[in-house]
């Protein structure tokens, strides 16, 4: 059984429920995670629920269900070290036709955003975050069995102990319920690369 008591809040939300392997969060308006790039603003007030680990090889799996309905409503997985160094994977609501399934990687205070459009009718998604030392892989799945790669990235400050978990936020004047369940930590599902050999120093 997954031990939810190992998680701690960074910016606890006003309304949430947590028991067994299920967490429900009601987002607060004007909450977000973003740093500098393109938009030139910095938002760092989204609630984040995480646990700490020194394990350099593992996978973190969670199912998300969401009632998002306003532009930029989002929830998903996160690896939040501090304001300037973090990553997230989520579905961000856009309008009644489509949403953005994507990921943000923030290193040293600058965020990027990699996305693909999916239908607005999608209201559930599984995510798997895998760590191999200071490199990470974000994957998604509609059934929790078959995962597709979303992103491979490097986190410069992810050395030694890190924190990882879930987040939910509403950057505009909105509020919705995000539900997280089926959480699990396993051996690293992101296998070592078996193709081209590393360059010799």
Contacting residues for 134 by C-beta, under 8 A, at least 6 apart: 154, 155, 156, 158, 159
Distances (CA, A) of 76 to 19, 40, 63, 152, 191: 18, 24, 9, 17, 23
What's the mean per-residue pLDDT of the chain? 95
Residue 197 is assigned to a structural domain of this protein: no
Answer yes or no: is 175 within a domain: yes
- Interacting residues of 193 by C-beta distance below 8 A, sequence separation 6+: none
In a domain, 38, yes or no: yes
How far, in Å, CA of 179 to CA of 63, rounded? 8
C-alpha 71: how far from chain center? 18
Rounded Cα–Cα distance for residues 46 and 27 (Å) = 9
Domain of residue 10 covers 4-186
Band (pLDDT 50/70/90 cuts) for residue 40 is: confident
- The answer to whether residue 59 is domain-embedded is yes
Say whether pLDDT at 201 is over 70: no
Residue 200's pLDDT is what? 74
Let me know if residue 192 belongs to a domain: no
101-123 mean pLDDT: 97
Residue 39: what pLDDT?
A: 80
**Is residue 130 a part of any domain in this protein?**
yes
Domain count, the chain: 1
96 part of a folded domain = yes
**Which CATH number goes with the domain that contains 69?**
2.60.120.200
The more confidently predicted of residues 76 and 196 is 76
Is the pLDDT reported for residue 1 higher than 70? no
Residue 16 phi, psi dihedral angles, 5° rounding: -160, 160
User: Would 58 be classed as within a structural domain?
Assistant: yes
């Amino acid at each position: 059984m997954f031990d939810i008591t190992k998680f701690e809040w960074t910016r606890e939300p006003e309304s949430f429920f947590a028991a067994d392997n299920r967490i429900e969060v009601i987002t607060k308006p004007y909450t977000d995670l973003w740093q500098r790039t393109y938009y030139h603003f910095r938002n760092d007030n989204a609630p984040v629920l995480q646990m700490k680990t020194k394990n350099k090889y593992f996978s973190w799996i969670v199912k998300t269900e969401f009632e998002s309905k306003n532009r930029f409503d989002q929830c998903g997985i996160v690896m939040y070290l501090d304001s300037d160094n973090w990553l997230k994977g989520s579905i961000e609501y856009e309008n009644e036709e489509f949403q953005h399934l994507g990921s943000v990687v923030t290193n040293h205070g600058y965020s990027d955003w990699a996305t693909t459009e999916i239908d607005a009718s999608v209201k559930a998604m599984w995510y798997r975050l895998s760590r191999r030392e200071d490199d990470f892989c974000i994957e998604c799945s509609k059934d929790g069995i078959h995962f597709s790669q979303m992103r491979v990235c490097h986190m410069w400050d992810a050395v030694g102990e890190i924190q990882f978990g879930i987040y939910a936020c509403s950057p505009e004047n909105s509020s919705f319920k995000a539900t997280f369940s089926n959480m699990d930590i396993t051996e690293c599902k992101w296998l070592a690369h078996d193709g081209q050999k590393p360059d010799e120093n």
